[in-house]
Structure 1
Amino acid sequence: MELSTPQWGQLVTLLMVAVALGMDAFSLGIGIGMRGILQRQIVVISGTIGLFHILMPLMGFAIGRYLGKVVENIAVMTGGGVLCFLGINMIWNAFRSEEEARVINTRSMMGVCLFSISVSLDSLSAGLSLGLFSADIWLTVILFGMMGAIMAGAGLFLGRHVGTWIGDYGEAVGGVILFFLGLRFLW
């Protein structure tokens, strides 16, 4: 099965959004990994983040599809604005001080779920935006879930070996990608 040009465009765009959203999990994973983490914990945390990177966009899609029907003419601008806002928020969070960062205990299942929800909230908003654009829901949630889990695992694994600067710059890069994708929909 060969993909048409619009299908390739959608795939590339969704992959870029998935990577940008996974940067949050990657950067926070580095911080958690630097505190010391077992391989089993990496698998549990990564899997939970992947699951929430699937569930949150599904909720966002449902809300976005409903809003898309209600506000047809301004749906694209609203979605683009949300993506720009997410990008700016990720850039801002990348450079805030360590004292401002919240510490969640990832050794308990409750802590893992709270951490997973916190890094997946931007996926909810992205799902809302993409629901307004009528993107392919299954392709989107599969890409978001896979990239969220892979990038979280990579961040947790690398956190044991690398300094904090990668985490800050990784989240900032993700924010820049989302911001420019949002601008693309606004223009």
Structure 2
Amino acid sequence: MQGYYIAEIVSLVFMAAALGMDAFSVCLGIGMQQLRLKRIALIGLTIGIMHVVMPFLGILLGTFLSAQIGQLTTLAGGLLLFGIGAQMVFSAFSEGPSSPMQPVGVGLLLLAFSVSIDSFSVGLSLGLSGVKIMLALMLFGAISMMLAWSGMLLGRKVQGLLGIYSEILGGSILCGFGLHVLFG
């Protein structure tokens, strides 16, 4: 019986890591914007919370939603990531003072939503599988938060090495991930 619980925890950890990898990828690009550590902490915390909220909503609303609505939310998330990345690339080429989009306010919530949208569909299946829901939600939130922090801190280090090109690289990463969400 104890082996069953260990196997369940291990599988939930791997599932949480897989769900958090998109947050890592996106945060790698965001970390190149010379963010303060306080902002990095807030972004990671917001992404972690959204990785708890989205599967919870998926569990609650799973029986009422159709597969078509799930496809529309994936499309919206991919377009949002691509748009944010394109804005970063274009602002790198603009003349005058650069003002890269900062993940604050509604922009932060949209970012967190876009990287956690896939956990919504996982929540749909979690409600039917009989796993320990609270354990799964806490693992999803904690691991995605740590991966987001890791991505931003790594991006921050890479930004120092790349200088002005880091904004182009960061925007390209976001665009690429948006395209992956849309077509992958």
Code of the aligned partner of 2:107: G
Unaligned runs of 5+ in 2: 86-100, 160-168
Structure-2 residue corresponding to 1:161 = 157
Deviations 1:56-82 (A, max 9, x none): 111112234x47xxxxxxxxxx9xxx9
Structure-1 residue corresponding to 2:18 = 20
Q: CA deviation at 1:116?
A: 0.5
Structure-2 residue corresponding to 1:10 = 8
Unaligned runs of 5+ in 1: 68-77, 94-99, 176-187
RMSD: 2.9
Rg: which structure is higher? 2
Percentage identity across paired residues of the two chains: 36
Structure-2 residue corresponding to 1:145 = 141
Deviations 1:101-120 (A, max 9, x none): 23173342111111001111
Asked if structure 2 preserves the Cα contact closer than 8 Å seen for 1:30 and 1:155, the reply is yes
The 1-side partners of 2:103 and 2:114 are apart by 16
Deviations 1:104-137 (A, max 9, x none): 7334211111100111111111111221211111
1:134 aligns with 2:130: yes
Matches within 5 A, 1:1-187: 4-64=2-62, 66=63, 101-103=82-84, 105-162=101-158
Code of the aligned partner of 2:83: R
Q: CA deviation at 1:36?
A: 1.8
Quickly say closer, same or farther: Cα 1:49–1:134, change in 2 above 3 A: same
User: What TM-score do you get using the length of structure 1 for normalisation?
Assistant: 0.65
Asked if structure 2 preserves the Cα contact closer than 8 Å seen for 1:33 and 1:156, the reply is yes
Q: CA deviation at 1:5?
A: 1.4
